[in-house]
A and B are shown apart, each in its own frame.
Chain A
Amino acid sequence: GAGVSQTPSNKVTEKGKYVELRCDPISGHTALYWYRQSLGQGPEFLIYFQGTGAADDSGLPNDRFFAVRPEGSVSTLKIQRTERGDSAVYLCASSSTGSYNEQFFGPGTRLTVL
């Protein structure tokens, strides 16, 4: 079956602009996760949803970052007033109920802030 999909695959923006990154989880997966990964580092947790609600948003670095999942499927990560330090690969993952939280990652969105 289809895996996690993310769009766009690449996004180049200018400092101060607003960006939206989209994630479409594996069909039937109830939990959805956002991470970001910088070069040479492991993924860093941002937020995860169980259904429509954010179960843990402790990894969002500041109030410029916001994520939604209004219908419990597709999620959008929104970044306002982008900064050069936001440049990274943004990864989305999903997992099914009762799977002991085995998370399956999408291909990622590479965000570059100029």
Chain B
Amino acid sequence: QKEVEQNSGPLSVPEGAIASLNCTYSDRVSQSFFWYRQYSGKSPELIMSIYSNGDKEDGRFTAQLNKASQYVSLLIRDSQPSDSATYLCAVNREGSQGNLIFGKGTKLSVKP
């Protein structure tokens, strides 16, 4: 099993819709979970972090964490064409807070 799995997409949603991005991870003791946005040709940009079970909201973004199911998701409300990018899920490796394991990313396309 891959350590951090994401559907590669592309995920296509119409402007104004909710985009739902999912990620599963294999390390049961991971404690830190992150979502990064990466535009083509650019470096990853941190958009959300979450550390405890439940939801965390920041503007149009909501991160959801379920440690029992080893599942983390990102919801983007009122999607805009400027949200079109690759979204990377990252999880810390057991025993090393600084060592993040990234998924391959999900490519999101928001159509006007």
Instruction: Report which A residues bind B (CB closer than 8 A).
Output: 31, 33, 35, 40-45, 48, 50, 55-56, 58-59, 89, 91, 95, 100-108
Contacts of B49 in A (CB 8 A): 100, 102
Contacting pair A103 B104 (CB below 8 A): no
Residue ID in chain B nearest A32 by CB atoms: B98
Instruction: Report which B residues bind A (CB closer than 8 A).
Output: 4, 32, 34, 36, 42-46, 49, 51, 88, 90, 92-93, 96-105
Contacts of A103 in B (CB 8 A): 34, 46, 98, 100
Contacting pair B99 A48 (CB below 8 A): yes
Total A-B Cβ pairs within 8 A: 65
4 pairs of A and B residues whose beta carbons are closest in the complex: A42-B102, A48-B98, A105-B43, A56-B96
Contacting pair B46 A101 (CB below 8 A): no
Contacts of A33 in B (CB 8 A): 98, 100
Contacting pair B100 A41 (CB below 8 A): no
